[in-house]
Structure 1
Amino acid sequence: MTGDQDWLIYRGTGEPHDGIKRLPPPPRWREFGGGPLVDPVLGADSSGGRRLGERERAASYRADPEVVEIVNAALYLRRPLLVTGKPGTGKSTLAYSIAHELGLGPVLRWPITSRSTLEQGLYRYDAIGRLQDASLRQNGARTILRQVGGGDASPPSIGRYVRLGKLGTAMLPQRRPRVLLIDEIDKSDVDLPNDLLNVFEEGEFEIPELTRLPDDQSVVEVMIADGTDQVAVHRGRVRCNAFPVVVLTSNGERDFPPAFLRRCLRIDIRTPNREQLTEIVAAHLGEHTVAECAEVIDRFLDDRRTGDLANDQLLNAIYLATSGGRPQEETRGRLLDALLRPLNQQGS
């Protein structure tokens, strides 16, 4: 890359590279400097395969130039991205594309519902499990003492009962940022966006159950959301080193408070044009399907003028038409009607 493109860290090409190493230091007001640094052992991306067709969908994603520019601005400024668009336009896929291209590990996906709370995103403490284990251990130790005169009735470490959530794991002091996908934030309770502000601004949070421990228990090993090991938390405080790449998606079903909006960089994902749809179909189903199903793409574009249609609906329709099963013309027409039914059409 030369000229005006030199500043781009994320290029939106789907080709992995180590451009994250060129990311300059953050602005002074976005420096967090958490530590000591941790390098947790990460598990597999359990949701990526189900939702994105393994890694191919993330690799084949092609972002508009405007989207690429705003993503890079967020990387430079260490700010969250609020990505708005109609269902099926690739809002969530953008997070997977960033993680894939920049080699940032599995995406931490936090799906939001009306019952989601900030604490659920940060950590979970299993107090009941700890109490039950302590009781069993004490009873077992008493039995051993009676039988052989030995045994250990000391309670298990509290760290066994603390698991960081997706947001909490993203805030660990890691060398490279993790990608955090907060999916469908517009479905949340009205207070959640404001509750997120302090974590995003301060880059840290506390686990009260750990801050109350005595000095000889100032370091506690806790579990993380998607890894196979434990990480050390010092005096109950988690402070990030590299601010995570936060992607919040919204279907545009609600407005957000100004205090929340001014801390995010906003992207509006537009519906893809014919050329972009052709690239999507070719990437997922092969170049040969584009010529075979040109009429299906034409119908999709026509129907989209009067109703909301998702890219997945087009891919489903084309796959059915090219998968080997060849229904009769009348049946094929009915199936296309069903598969390409607008999302905003609720009645029969």
Structure 2
Amino acid sequence: MNSPLSAGPTARTVAGPGPYRGTGLPHQASAAALPPPPPWRTYSGGPDLEPPPDDVAETDRRLGAAVRAALNMETAAGETAAVNAALSLRKPLLITGQPGFGRSAVAFRIARELGLGRVLHWTVTGASVLQGALYAAGPAERGTGVRLGPLGTALLPYGRPRVLLIEGLDRGDFDLPIELRAVLRRGGFDIPELAEDGRATVTTDDPGVTAPVPHGAVACHELPVTVITAVRNRIFPAEFLADCLHWEHPAPTVAELTATVRSRAGITDSADPRLLALVAELAEAWSADPHALGQLTVTQALDAVTLAATGPWPPDETPGDVAARLLDLLRRQVPGTP
């Protein structure tokens, strides 16, 4: 007689720490395998579409051509555990923290490491509505005239999940997280404008790519890998938070800032010694000043290095003098702002 515990799907085995390592280094095919989604987050969409295109240029712009491993750069505390839990559970990962600390870069590292193709990117503003991220219907000059947004494209059926970055969800309307939760829980949505067309085709958010959506029904068979960024002080609805995993992105360490700036600015060991010294000065100043630690962003550090590399460098200025002068310029506020 079979035990009730022996019935049903095959049990999920306990594996290693997870496929995501936080290095930014693409895995071999065997190491990039994802755990199957839980049965309660598996949907009926299909057949699978072709694998999505890569966007190497955008990924390199976001992360730099060099990867963390090559720069001996440590992963932020808790990052790998949070990402691997989100991958295993197929739950959205809500990353809070100050802007400029690398929250969005996590999505691009996931895509690059696991070979999941181009990151689908939705930047939320105060005027954002959910339908704009799902699809837009315009004049049928070419094809159906319907174009899927980043969220709509992420909910198409693929052999492997897409990576969806929702940037700045805290800037949207209070009800937007609840609406997002409902669509993700359903695993798809309908396009009423195409309900009568059994051979409907839409343009996706991927450049030059179309997809069939018979009768306007969009359905995935597993949810996208969703990374959501927000500042820490936004109060989200409790039911939305219950459907997410949360990770607070810490401020980068001196070593992380140094490695990130060198990677994204393309500064190698053979670069101008003054630039190498400038990066070190920026990192040291950041470490020594608690106020600077909370205010300096990676983008500001990159801008300072760019100005130093392209602008005049008075012969009597030390790297420390240049760092102070450029950061003062970059932090200077517009008159009348707090």
TM-score by length of 2: 0.81
Q: How far apart are the structure 1 equivalents of 2:125 and 2:68?
A: 24
Q: How far apart are the structure 2 equivalents of 1:294 and 1:193?
A: 41
1:309 matched residue in structure 2: 296
2:90 matched residue in structure 1: 78
Residue type at the aligned position of 2:187? G
- In the superposition, relative to structure 1, how do residues 262 and 250 fare at CA in structure 2: closer, same or farther (>3 Å)? same
1:39 matched residue in structure 2: 50
- Of 108, 113, 126, the residue aligned with 1:101 is 113
Q: How far apart are the structure 2 equivalents of 1:6 and 1:98?
A: 17
CA deviations 1:236-259 (Å, max 9, x no partner) are 211112321111111235210111
Residues 36-75 of structure 1 mapped to structure 2, 5 A cutoff:
36-39=47-50, 42=53, 44=55, 48=59, 52=62, 55-56=65-66, 63-75=75-87
Q: How far apart are the structure 1 equivalents of 2:166 and 2:281?
A: 36
How far did residue 338 of structure 1 move?
1.8
Residue type at the aligned position of 2:35? P
Residue type at the aligned position of 1:23? L
Residues 244-255 of structure 1 mapped to structure 2, 5 A cutoff:
244-255=224-235
Q: How far apart are the structure 2 equivalents of 1:23 and 1:343?
A: 46
1:149 matched residue in structure 2: none
SS in 2 for 1:109: strand
Q: How far apart are the structure 2 equivalents of 1:24 and 1:33?
A: 18
Q: How far apart are the structure 2 equivalents of 1:21 and 1:302?
A: 40
Report percent identity of matched pairs: 40
- The structure whose residues are more often helix, as a share, is 1
1:230 matched residue in structure 2: 210
What is the number of residues matched between the two proteins?
311
* More displaced 10-residue stretch of structure 1: 102-111 or 58-67: 58-67
How far did residue 278 of structure 1 move?
2.7
Q: How far apart are the structure 2 equivalents of 1:58 and 1:227?
A: 29
- In the superposition, relative to structure 1, how do residues 57 and 117 fare at CA in structure 2: closer, same or farther (>3 Å)? farther
How far did residue 62 of structure 1 move?
5.3
2:268 matched residue in structure 1: 286
For the pair 1:220 / 2:220, whether they are aligned, the reply is no
Are the equivalent residues in 1 in contact too, given 2:51–2:117 (CA < 8 A)?
Answer: no
- In the superposition, relative to structure 1, how do residues 314 and 54 fare at CA in structure 2: closer, same or farther (>3 Å)? closer
Are the equivalent residues in 2 in contact too, given 1:179–1:245 (CA < 8 A)?
Answer: yes
For the pair 1:175 / 2:159, whether they are aligned, the reply is yes
SS in 2 for 1:246: strand
4+ residue runs over 6 A deviation: 57-61, 342-346
SS in 2 for 1:22: coil
Larger Rg: 1
How far did residue 323 of structure 1 move?
5.1
How far did residue 296 of structure 1 move?
2.8
- Of 214, 234, 243, the residue aligned with 1:263 is 243
2:125 matched residue in structure 1: 113
Residue type at the aligned position of 1:178? R
For the pair 1:203 / 2:183, whether they are aligned, the reply is no
TM-score by length of 1: 0.79
- In the superposition, relative to structure 1, how do residues 88 and 176 fare at CA in structure 2: closer, same or farther (>3 Å)? same
Q: How far apart are the structure 1 equivalents of 2:219 and 2:33?
A: 23
